[in-house]
Chain A
Amino acid sequence: MSGYRLPAPLGRRIDRSRLVTFLFNGRAYSGFYGDTLAAALLANGVRLVGRSFKLHRPRGIFSCGIEEPTAIVDVGEGARRTPNQRATLVELSEGLIAESVNCWPSVELDLGAVNRWLAPLLPAGFYYKTFKWPSWGWFEPVIRRMAGLGRAPTKPDPDRYEEVSVATDILVVGAGIAGLSAAVAAAHSGARTMLLTSSAELGGALGWRADPEIDELRSSARRLGVQIQTRTLAFGVYDHNLVCATELLAADAPSPGARGVLRERLWRIRARSVCSAQGSFERPLLFPDNDRPGVMLAGAADKFAHAYGVAGGRRVVIMANSDSAYAVAASLRSAGIEVVALLDRRPSADIAADAGNLRVMTNTAIEKVIGTAAVRACVAGTADGRGARPERIDCDLILSAGGHAPAVHLHSQAGGKLRWVDESAMFVPDGAAPGLFSVGACAGVFSRDAAALHASEVGRALAHGFTVPAAPVGGAGRTLASSRVAAARGKQFVDLQNDVTVDDVGLAALENYRAVEHLKRYTTTGMATDQGKTSNVNALVLMAEMTQRDPPQVGTTKFRPPFAPVTFGALVGRRVGALYRPLKQLPAARWHAAHGALFEQFGRWSRPAAYPLGPETLHAAAQREAAAVRRSVGLFDGSPLGKLEIWGADAAQFLDLMYVGNMSTLAVGQARYGLLLDENGVVVDDGIVARLGERHFWVNTTSAGIERTAAAFEEWLQCEFTNLKVLVTPVTSRWGNVTVAGPKAWSLMAAAGFDAAFSPATMRHMTIRDGTLDEAPLRILRASFSGELAYEINLPADATVALFERLLTAGAALDALLYGVEALEIMRTEKGYIHIGTDTDGTTLPGDIGFARALERKAANFVGRRSLTRPAALDARRLQLVALSPLDRRTLLPTGAQIAADAPPATTEGHVTSSYWSPELNAPVALGMLSRGSGRLGERVSVHHLGARIEAEVVKAPFIDPAGERLRG
């Protein structure tokens, strides 16, 4: 128990009058309002907070911010459990529940820690090596259980997330001295300015310090109307200056019973210019066992002390490679924390800071850390391994101060390049990125005054559109690039989250994975939730050393969004449940529901699949409905059928170009079936084209194909056949479609009061006529997908319910009934009619489905025609549509089953595409695609499905009414 609470006035962020209790790994602790989980755990003396990803080594709190690699916890429980949260960012609230990840059964007794003894077997690339033999499949279940971080919730999220899109002139990301200066200058120059900070308050990395300059900038920003968004993390820069950010709304854990709490808001901000002021990350140093609980970044210990009033230890050793360590030492001592010694890797000549009366050992490094679950002491030796005898120093907190790495993430995401500043061993932006300008520490400007001045100039220049001044990089002092202890034994961790050691990087270099992208993937450095915020620079420097190159020659991997993990909830927003993929509803949907419809999803439509009676199954209902239609008459809601009106002087010529089948030869009132191809010759839709006038056509497409057909028509008209005078108007939702089908279809319509002009005697199959019924305009098409006498009655969508009522009432004496999509599927399969997308796929050409002769008859060009004479299109082995029947006339052929001479693995000859039980024949009927199928009538084939073999026969289609007598009525 080393950490403890420091007395006020230390702890500017916490409210000591408000005690907060929370649970960590099932044990109750208390902290103060304003604490982070990490601060409260340290104050309670908790050091061991997790286990590492691969080796299950004990790990503690390493940082005080977003870069945290090791203190990863799952927060909340049940449906609200949020995995992989950084304890350094989790704001403490009453009743908060947090759990360590990567350990079982507990963080103290972790069985996975056996991996530590297996460590020699788990080097870089161990996945690729070890599990090649005998099979990855042997190892996968074990690896999957042991790997991974937190556990995802298994129940739906009870809370809400929303998104907002805004535009602004200048967007400033980061609210430290640089960000504030830029925002104030931009707003002062008249630009609409937005300022984001992930923190709850303005002031940036040093926001916990009393700072009159920050206070003044803050009030200026408010006065000038800068839109300030706190607790809003910019996680990505996307094309054309779109910045996405998540705003945390509900800081306190919602009470268990609460639902629909607004948790996060996704901001999508389109900015004319973006100004990045994200600051920098402290770079840790490498030494043996530098991952022990009690090793921490120096700046983090300073922040814990001053912002939260928490000391991470009682005896502190600082391991330095940078002048910034000296400021931290002084700051800690001012907080009353004992700093035992400052070990500096650098020779005296490189050190520009003054340590006062603190014991400083130059040219010194830590050779060894004593203590496993918590630091107890360290052994200091000379940095180069020569000279003075190693010295043991008792301590319980070791601070790592390896210099700083500018947070160049947004700059890099925006497409900016980096350059290496050797003096301070850091990558800085090499000029600006397109549309994005860095200021302050993330631009490599570490002197406070220079940063504020430069940022103001940038803000002003962006607002006015002036040339943006270059960043005055500097002020970080001298830092050695190399940060490891060359001669020491023991694991020196480069990436604490992924358990990547100096030796792993060495192995990658040895095995020639020297390119930075290879280094990352082979060793997993810089992956997972922290994305290498504390490890990237050390890994690159190491690889450079080991391959005798300079760090810039190794280069850096491209930073990609997101900058930090984003919850799925924030990205998904309101698009969940019924709003995930909203279905289209029929105009008469409620009427169908009241009449017992069983709704299912067909494409994007919710439609009646059948109308089961009482306990009847879908299958039984569909059988009954199909039989009744063939016997008497049925009513079907065909409203989803795609409907287009085509107008214009060149409408006929245009439709000839679009369809296989001549539409220009149609007389007014006539209708014709057409296949729509794409330019590859592939059948993409079918439908019926009817001529309403010389220059006016009515086109029915498939229900699923209407959007793409309308889009294709527009594309050809606007981009290729630009000389044609044609207008295409999609009217699907304006017109309902009530289909009356069956031998008594006309009897029913006559009984319902339809004009005798529509009788089969005067209105032929495949003709269209206008009419009226109770003043509603009608457009009646005689066409049939069931093979029975059928009328498709098109009428204004809001009149469909009235027509259904009228027909059903009139049809009582005729046993008229409603039928659904399943019954229609049975009937069209009995007739051998194809369903595009079910019987056809992305390779099907018109010749494959029986339209070879239609092609021969049409000499003119049309879309896709040239592709039908390509060698592949003329290949005799192509799959062709066939009708199939099982030899026993009893066994249903499974849809999707493969046709092959022998059991798999054998070359398949085709597959079953549609298969139903025919109530008419009391036997199965099926369609399929079969190689050379059109010439194989009467042949026997074997159908294979899940190990079973069914003998079938290629039969003649259609299965019923081959002469089409029913169709004509």
Chain B
Amino acid sequence: MMQIPCPWCGKRDESEFVCGGTSHIARPPLDAADQAWGEYLFFRDNPKGLHLERWRHANGCGQWFNLARHTVTHEISLVYAIAEPAPP
């Protein structure tokens, strides 16, 4: 079980959180083509390495935030606000 640093509450066990999957996926407009909408709904990269993802401290402060996690080692190298752009 990972230990996730909530920006508001500090380090807490993973069981207090809900993962919302990949961050920074832009929601296409209503007139988007089927292809673009389908990619938004269903297609995700599955990187071996750094992954930017959304988490919610569901059994805690209830806030969403972003973090950068290594998908092999689970090392969490960065935590940033949900509205912040993807780090370079």
Contacts and interface: CB of A to CB of B under 8 A. Distances in A.
Interface in B22-79: 27-28, 30, 32, 34, 37-38, 41, 54, 56, 58, 62-64, 72-75
B66 to A, nearest CB: 10
B33 to A, nearest CB: 10
A628 B74 CA distance: 61
Given A240-B2, A715-B20, A715-B64, A867 B73 contact: no
A722 interface: yes
Interface in A704-733: 711, 714-715, 718-720, 722
Given A720-B27, A866-B30, A870-B34, A239 B74 contact: yes
Interface string A674-698: 0000011000000000000000000
A720 B83 CA distance: 9
A861 to B, nearest CB: 5
A242 B64 contact: no
Contacts of A718: 63-64, 82
Contacts of B32: 866
A417 to B, nearest CB: 13
B37 A239 contact: no
16 contacts: A238-B1, A415-B73, A434-B75, A680-B41, A714-B62, A714-B64, A715-B20, A718-B63, A718-B64, A719-B20, A719-B82, A861-B30, A866-B32, A867-B37, A867-B41, A870-B34
Contact of B3 (A242, A434, A711, A715): A242
Contact of A679 (B41, B62, B74, B75): B41
A242 B62 contact: no
Nearest to B14: A239
A711 B34 CA distance: 27
Contacts of B20: 715, 719
A715 B56 contact: yes
Interface in A866-916: 866-867, 870-871
Interface string B1-26: 11100000000001000101000000
Interface centre among B20, B28, B30, B83 (most CB of A within 10 A): B30
Looking at chain B's contact residues, is the secondary structure mostly helix, strand, loop, or mixed? loop
A54 interface: no
A866 B56 CA distance: 26
Interface of B: 1-3, 14, 18, 20, 27-28, 30, 32, 34, 37-38, 41, 54, 56, 58, 62-64, 72-75, 82-83
A238 B14 CA distance: 12
Interface centre among A240, A270, A434, A865 (most CB of B within 10 A): A240
Contacts of B41: 679-680, 867
B19 to A, nearest CB: 12
Given A714-B62, A719-B54, 7 more contacts: A239-B2, A240-B1, A679-B41, A715-B56, A715-B64, A722-B83, A867-B41
Contacts, number: 50
A707 to B, nearest CB: 9
A871 B3 contact: no
A688 to B, nearest CB: 25
Contacts of A711: 18, 56, 58
A242 B82 contact: no
A502 B88 CA distance: 55
A434 B18 CA distance: 25
Report, nearest first, the 6 A-B pairs whose CB atoms are least far apart: A240-B3, A239-B2, A718-B64, A239-B74, A861-B30, A240-B2
A715 B64 CA distance: 7
B14 to A, nearest CB: 7
A186 to B, nearest CB: 21
Nearest to A710: B62
A724 B9 CA distance: 25
A722 B83 CA distance: 8
A343 to B, nearest CB: 47
Contacts of B34: 870-871
Contacts of A270: 3
A382 B81 CA distance: 72
A239 B1 contact: yes
A870 B37 contact: yes
A300 to B, nearest CB: 36
Contacts of A240: 1-3, 74
A870 B54 CA distance: 27
Contacts of A870: 34, 37-38
Interface in A134-165: none
Contacts of B82: 718-719, 722
A679 B30 CA distance: 12
A124 B84 CA distance: 57
B73 A434 contact: yes
Interface in A848-870: 861, 865-867, 870
Contacts of B27: 720
B59 to A, nearest CB: 11
Nearest to B36: A866
Interface string A633-649: 00000000000000000
A866 B3 contact: no
Interface centre among A239, A270, A720 (most CB of B within 10 A): A239
Nearest to A870: B34
A319 B38 CA distance: 67
Contacts of B64: 714-715, 718-719
Contacts of B56: 711, 714-715
A737 B28 CA distance: 40
B41 to A, nearest CB: 6
B63 to A, nearest CB: 7
A865 B72 CA distance: 37
A656 to B, nearest CB: 13
A270 B72 CA distance: 20
A865 B30 CA distance: 8
Interface centre among A239, A680, A720, A866 (most CB of B within 10 A): A866
A110 to B, nearest CB: 44
Interface string A747-779: 000000000000000000000000000000000
A861 B32 CA distance: 12
Contacts of A238: 1
Contacts of A719: 20, 54, 64, 82
Contacts of A871: 34
Contacts of B2: 239-240
Nearest to A242: B1
A867 B18 CA distance: 25
Nearest to A679: B41
Interface centre among A270, A719, A720 (most CB of B within 10 A): A719
A719 B23 CA distance: 9
Contacts of B14: 239
Contacts of B54: 719
Contacts of B75: 434
